[in-house]
Chains A and B, each alone.
Chain A
């Protein structure tokens, strides 16, 4: 791939931000899904585990989306405008989901001790956690199939409605649930019964996302030639890795190896996203918006890259600290945090 430009570099950074959002915030949406479908004798314990896992990190995970949006309109302003126009409805609905999810989670997490169980907000938390990834998934389908055009067109604001869109919406929910359940297997390592609950859920989500992914491939082959040529062209090697990694991840879940499963399932999300993104290169939003042609002037891209590099010097250690304190094996925490 000779001749990579500054614009390609910025596009790659945005892909990394999208990946981080999918892998981290995706699991937070999945937590909402499992909160809604908490069941069995340990339903309360399941909800507590979800709230404890999400509490310290969900807001930081959410910022990847802001990072992505801001980076997109800085580096590719016309693409941001075209996406916002063509995908007005799915974006607005996803936005409502994102707002309600965050607000409801916070009301539950910090208000529960004030008013007891906030049943309606608990329901909103779960419902919104399904709506947001579903409509973001449908929007991604619209981008990948080339329905976002530069000049608008007759179906300019309805082009996102397709069978593949429906499939990707469901796949986004399933993958989010899959991620969440495997992460929760790690979090609940101290409680074998609770861990088994999440293992069953993870395996169910694995089967569901596998079926939806294969159905998506079939739909792509029949109905989305643009995406099909991307996935079978430049993105083929990533697609093959994804197809090989899927069973490995499911096997790790089935075997009950939470730490391996966590890595494999997160990797699955990465491979699927990258197969699409690498496949459609050099387009950003095919077919009209090429990375090269729609990028901001180089002065802006250079300033943005410098800004991100400087920002990362502060951000990277901060993120490390956050995940080290709350997600790492933290013997000090176990000692200083007496169990009730």
Chain B
């Protein structure tokens, strides 16, 4: 593999690994804040025990997020020196803001994790507020920099030399609102479904104690609200992409000819060499209607652009289909849960629903990852849309192959160890609660 491919492989692996922990770093503090808050307010020991248990798991998750995020800060330069030399000063401001947010999150997490016995209960709970805020702020700031890669503005360059920078204009570029909000709600969506999956699995294995009966609905509140918002923001994002990056939009929709009254392709396989998408369910005029509000509006297809700036159409289209399909399925799953909850006035514990929720956890992660596939693969061949090609940005260092191998092994080892520890932690907490009688009672 050449350096560009290897750099992309290493960066993509690192991002794909990091983001799982990053989104939990956004969502989990909010759950902890809510659980501890309710526990203090109602003097309910079960809620407090739940917050404590989540904090223990979160300590592990946050640390892996922190070190894998460090890898990314280094890799920006190690893998993409050309990109960073050009754009470091333009996108540095939101990155610095993210640094401060990370600082605040790390500080108050230290206080939170080690302060259960050192701080008064109210002071301890107050520490969870800056964690939740700075977690969300980190996501907002760091996605601004990605948005800039999609809508590069706020600078003037002569060749490769930056002569003028307006850092605020760069940070608040056209892609920022849609990308930021869609990513933030996705973070809560993944957290909600991931936590729900853990407790749904607990119910299925017969551990449905009072703790489970509080944790699952709370996670499902987050999941269903976020799923609804993800649907709305996703629709806005897609329409924005149609304006901002029509070629990415054509690729994700698998649309080759420019058409008035363009059909929506559901599923299917694009064949770039034959300029058509096969095996798709075609809904006539629906794409034009969804995109422009007019069933006969014209939508640009891939054929309107030179072939050498097409992204990987197959990958982008399939990723988009997976994200949208899973997103809709997740939303329906959440709705169904609450429908049953409201009708029965009790948390539903039907086996089939719990099994669906267990699947929904990993499915939400897949939806988020494929969403990023659309953003990132869809922007190719550009690293900065319309400004710099990815091939011009990569490092020339000869050691990328071994680096990739080592990082792959590292991420697998970290992921496996973390999973094992979380499972053992849960087992041990259960055993302790059962044996010494201090644990939550049904």
Mark A residues whose CB is within 8 Å of B.
55-57, 59-60, 62-63, 65-67, 69-71, 73-78, 80-85, 88-89, 91-92, 95-96, 98-100, 102-103, 105-107, 109-111, 113-115, 121, 157, 296-297, 299-300, 303-304, 307-308, 311, 314-315, 318-319, 321-322, 325-326, 330, 332-333, 336-337
What residues of A have a CB within 8 angstroms of the CB of B84 in the complex? 73, 77, 80-81, 84
- Taking a contact as CB atoms closer than 8 A, the residue among B85, B114, B420 that contacts A55 in the complex is B114
Total residues of chain B contacting the partner, CB 8 A: 74
Q: Of the 9-residue stretches B60-68, B298-306, B307-315, which lies at the interface with chain A? A: B60-68
Q: How far is A110 from B107 in the complex, measured between Cα atoms in Å?
A: 17
What residues of B have a CB within 8 angstroms of the CB of A81 in the complex? 77, 81-82, 84-85, 88
Instruction: Tell whether B256 is near chain A: CB-to-CB under 8 Å.
Output: no
Known: A71-B96, A95-B71, A325-B111. A296 touches B85 (CB 8 A): no
Q: How far is the CB of A277 from the nearest CB of chain B, in Å?
A: 20
Known: A77-B89, A315-B103. A299 touches B66 (CB 8 A): no
Q: How far is A275 from B64 in the complex, measured between Cα atoms in Å?
A: 35
B66 close to A59 (CB less than 8 A): yes
Q: How far is the CB of A66 from the nearest CB of chain B, in Å?
A: 5
- Taking a contact as CB atoms closer than 8 A, the residue among A88, A92, A111, A314 that contacts B104 in the complex is A314
The 7 closest A-B pairs by CB, nearest first: A74-B92, A77-B88, A84-B77, A296-B89, A106-B63, A81-B85, A73-B88
14 further A-B pairs in the complex, CB-CB below 8 A; given A59-B63, A102-B63, A315-B104: A60-B103, A66-B70, A74-B88, A74-B95, A76-B88, A81-B77, A82-B85, A95-B78, A99-B71, A103-B63, A297-B163, A303-B167, A311-B96, A322-B110
Q: How far is the CB of A144 from the nearest CB of chain B, in Å?
A: 19
B167 close to A300 (CB less than 8 A): yes
A92 close to B113 (CB less than 8 A): no
Known: A157-B397, A297-B164. A70 touches B104 (CB 8 A): no
B110 close to A59 (CB less than 8 A): yes
A57 close to B110 (CB less than 8 A): yes
What residues of A have a CB within 8 angstroms of the CB of B395 in the complex? 84-85, 88
- Taking a contact as CB atoms closer than 8 A, the residue among A85, A92, A111, A308 that contacts B396 in the complex is A85
Q: How far is A164 from B69 in the complex, measured between Cα atoms in Å?
A: 31
What residues of B have a CB within 8 angstroms of the CB of A75 in the complex? 89, 92
- Taking a contact as CB atoms closer than 8 A, the residue among A99, A106, A321 that contacts B111 in the complex is A321
Instruction: Tell whether B276 is near chain A: CB-to-CB under 8 Å.
Output: no
A325 close to B119 (CB less than 8 A): yes
The chain B residue with its CB closest to the CB of A121 is B417
Q: How far is the CB of A214 from the nearest CB of chain B, in Å?
A: 32
Q: How far is A337 from B90 in the complex, measured between Cα atoms in Å?
A: 48
What are 5 sample pairs from A and B whose C-beta atoms fall under 8 A apart? A60-B103, A66-B69, A67-B96, A88-B399, A103-B67
A325 close to B425 (CB less than 8 A): no
The chain A residue with its CB closest to the CB of B160 is A78
Q: How far is the CB of B200 from the nearest CB of chain A, in Å?
A: 22
- Taking a contact as CB atoms closer than 8 A, the residue among A59, A106, A304 that contacts B106 in the complex is A59
Known: A89-B399, A92-B78, A95-B71. A74 touches B89 (CB 8 A): yes
Q: How far is A274 from B73 in the complex, measured between Cα atoms in Å?
A: 25
Instruction: Tell whether B406 is near chain A: CB-to-CB under 8 Å.
Output: yes
Q: How far is the CB of A218 from the nearest CB of chain B, in Å?
A: 32
Q: How far is the CB of B86 from the nearest CB of chain A, in Å?
A: 7
Cβ contacts B423-440/A at 8 Å (1 or 0 each): 011011000000000000
Q: How far is A303 from B406 in the complex, measured between Cα atoms in Å?
A: 38
What residues of A have a CB within 8 angstroms of the CB of B99 in the complex? 63, 66-67, 70-71
Q: How far is the CB of A285 from the nearest CB of chain B, in Å?
A: 13
Known: A111-B421, A307-B97. A66 touches B102 (CB 8 A): yes
What residues of B have a CB within 8 angstroms of the CB of A303 in the complex? 93, 167-168
What residues of A have a CB within 8 angstroms of the CB of B162 in the complex? 77, 296-297
B78 close to A84 (CB less than 8 A): yes
Q: How far is the CB of A118 from the nearest CB of chain B, in Å?
A: 9
Q: How far is A304 from B168 in the complex, measured between Cα atoms in Å?
A: 11
Known: A99-B68, A103-B64. A56 touches B113 (CB 8 A): yes
B77 close to A110 (CB less than 8 A): no
What residues of B have a CB within 8 angstroms of the CB of A111 in the complex? 60, 421, 424-425
What residues of B have a CB within 8 angstroms of the CB of A74 in the complex? 88-89, 92-93, 95-96
Known: A63-B103, A80-B88, A106-B64. A96 touches B406 (CB 8 A): yes
The chain A residue with its CB closest to the CB of B397 is A88
- Taking a contact as CB atoms closer than 8 A, the residue among A56, A83, A99, A107 that contacts B421 in the complex is A107
Known: A111-B421, A299-B164, A322-B111. A106 touches B92 (CB 8 A): no
A300 close to B165 (CB less than 8 A): yes
Known: A65-B70, A74-B89. A308 touches B96 (CB 8 A): yes
Instruction: Tell whether B203 is near chain A: CB-to-CB under 8 Å.
Output: no
Known: A92-B78, A337-B118. A69 touches B93 (CB 8 A): no
- Taking a contact as CB atoms closer than 8 A, the residue among B59, B68, B414 that contacts A110 in the complex is B59
What residues of A have a CB within 8 angstroms of the CB of B424 in the complex? 111, 114-115
Instruction: Tell whether B125 is near chain A: CB-to-CB under 8 Å.
Output: no
Q: How far is A321 from B118 in the complex, measured between Cα atoms in Å?
A: 12
What residues of B have a CB within 8 angstroms of the CB of A78 in the complex? 85
What residues of A have a CB within 8 angstroms of the CB of B341 in the complex? none
B93 close to A73 (CB less than 8 A): no
What residues of B have a CB within 8 angstroms of the CB of A56 in the complex? 110-111, 113-115
Cβ contacts B377-421/A at 8 Å (1 or 0 each): 000000000000000000111110001001000100010011011
Q: How far is A95 from B95 in the complex, measured between Cα atoms in Å?
A: 19
What residues of A have a CB within 8 angstroms of the CB of B89 in the complex? 73-75, 77, 296-297, 300
Instruction: Tell whether B352 is near chain A: CB-to-CB under 8 Å.
Output: no
Q: How far is A96 from B92 in the complex, measured between Cα atoms in Å?
A: 24
What residues of A have a CB within 8 angstroms of the CB of B427 in the complex? 114
A73 close to B77 (CB less than 8 A): yes
Known: A67-B103, A303-B93, A314-B100. A80 touches B77 (CB 8 A): yes
Cβ contacts B317-361/A at 8 Å (1 or 0 each): 000000000000000000000000000000000000000000000
The chain B residue with its CB closest to the CB of A337 is B117
Instruction: Tell whether B202 is near chain A: CB-to-CB under 8 Å.
Output: no
Instruction: Tell whether B56 is near chain A: CB-to-CB under 8 Å.
Output: yes
Instruction: Tell whether B279 is near chain A: CB-to-CB under 8 Å.
Output: no
B107 close to A333 (CB less than 8 A): no
Instruction: Tell whether B130 is near chain A: CB-to-CB under 8 Å.
Output: yes
A326 close to B106 (CB less than 8 A): no
What residues of B have a CB within 8 angstroms of the CB of A307 in the complex? 93, 96-97, 100
What residues of B have a CB within 8 angstroms of the CB of A66 in the complex? 69-70, 73, 99, 102
